[in-house]
Amino acid sequence: MLRFPHSILPAILAGAASLAAQAVSPTDRTTLEGSSFTHFPLGRASARMQTLHADVPGGTVIHGHAYRRDAAGVRGLVDGFACDLEVTLSVGPNPPTQASTTFANNAGSAPVVVLPRTVLNFPATQRPSLDPSPSFELLVPYATPFVMPPQGGTLCVDVRVFGNTSAAGTNLNLSVYLDAHENYPDGRAEQAGFRTFQGCPAPGSTANSYATMTYWRMPTSGRLDVSIRDGVPDDGSVLVRPFVTVGHGLDGSPWPLRPDCPFWSTSEVWFALPGAMTSTGSHDGSLVGLPLLPPGYRLWAQAGSVHLGTVAMAFSDATTFVTPPAGPLPIPTARIVHSTNGGSATGTVSYAVPVMAFL
């Protein structure tokens, strides 16, 4: 049931299209995909979530906030839905690294109900062709703007969810796949790989090989985690080896011995992965001690597996990512969430937060 005056809600929504992002939090995710995804808070049937942001500039006039859909974790369409929610903003006393499990302790002394309880409709979203999503598609426009003080501070965004409606039914937990990111106290930064295009099968198989990759900027080096599936299986000879290629550009040239296997990466560098393939054509490993790369480079990678005796080979799909900067310190964002009760007084603290735009 709508809890918001019909005469006001259309005016809010009509003005929403003209809103432009003034700040993104965590700030380093403005043009980078987050490291994960979340269904908090919009995907819950009843929940309360505060997010604390120390990276919203002082003096910012906030007319709403928005979430973007995850690009890396799930492919295809995420259905639209309606959410019954309320939003309160304040400048709180606690920096994100000192977030309290008690919601009231994180709120400021002059909270503003920027959006009284209402039902908002959120659109269906398609996976973008490249990470991150080019827009923050899931918009929460405010009835009352909120002004950050000139000196800045910790913005506390308190969202209470009272229910939802979707094609699945009413007041059910939903998988909405909001882009999210986790910051770490040692300054490392995790960059999820964006899988695209298609791999080719190992000889004798009909399943295309694929790989999942994650790039880490560690405090003093780089690391690439690689998981290969449906590659060339080990036949007991221990001669099947996994590898990964990395290049600065996207290619599409066929492998001469397997015209059905394209090189998706320009493959300037080839790395042998540690260990052997399993009997099911799987491998999980990491390249460690890689040199630190400057942030902002888009790289294209592709995994593969080869039998050193028979030269049977399979290539995975393509993975791309942008090299991230070091994780910001002190950690600029935190969340406090109770996932089953919108009226709860307490929640659980985490540094994994949805990537949010303030408009």
**Residue 3 belongs to some domain of the structure:** no
Question: Which residues, in sequence order, are bridge partners of residue 352?
Answer: 182
pLDDT (tens digit per residue) in 134-182: 999 999 999 999 999 999 999 999 999 999 999 999 999 999 999 999 9
Tokens for 176?
């909405």
Asked if residue 166 and residue 282 are part of one domain, the reply reads: no
**Residue 257 belongs to some domain of the structure:** yes
Asked if residue 273 and residue 233 are part of one domain, the reply reads: yes
Asked if residue 144 and residue 39 are part of one domain, the reply reads: yes
Asked if residue 195 and residue 183 are part of one domain, the reply reads: no
* Complete edge-to-edge strand list for the sheet that includes strand 61-67: 23-25, 356-358, 61-67, 138-147
The answer to whether residues 80 and 126 touch, using CB atoms and an 8 Å cutoff, is: no
Residue 257 is predicted with a pLDDT of 86
Asked if residue 208 and residue 161 are part of one domain, the reply reads: no
Asked if residue 314 and residue 334 are part of one domain, the reply reads: no
**Residue 140 belongs to some domain of the structure:** yes
The answer to whether residues 176 and 68 touch, using CB atoms and an 8 Å cutoff, is: no
Asked if residue 122 and residue 112 are part of one domain, the reply reads: yes
Read off the pTM: 0.93
Asked if residue 160 and residue 21 are part of one domain, the reply reads: yes
Burial class from Cβ neighbours inside 10 Å (0-12, 13-18, 19+) for residue 210 reads buried
Domain span including residue 245? 189-322
Interacting residues of 123 by C-beta distance below 8 A, sequence separation 6+: 80, 137, 138
Asked if residue 233 and residue 156 are part of one domain, the reply reads: no
Asked if residue 339 and residue 274 are part of one domain, the reply reads: no
Counted domains in the chain: 2
Asked if residue 280 and residue 257 are part of one domain, the reply reads: yes
**Residue 4 belongs to some domain of the structure:** no
Asked if residue 130 and residue 69 are part of one domain, the reply reads: yes
pLDDT (tens digit per residue) in 295-313: 999 999 999 999 999 999 9
pLDDT (tens digit per residue) in 112-124: 999 999 999 999 9
**Residue 260 belongs to some domain of the structure:** yes
The answer to whether residues 294 and 222 touch, using CB atoms and an 8 Å cutoff, is: no
Is the pLDDT reported for residue 17 higher than 60?
no
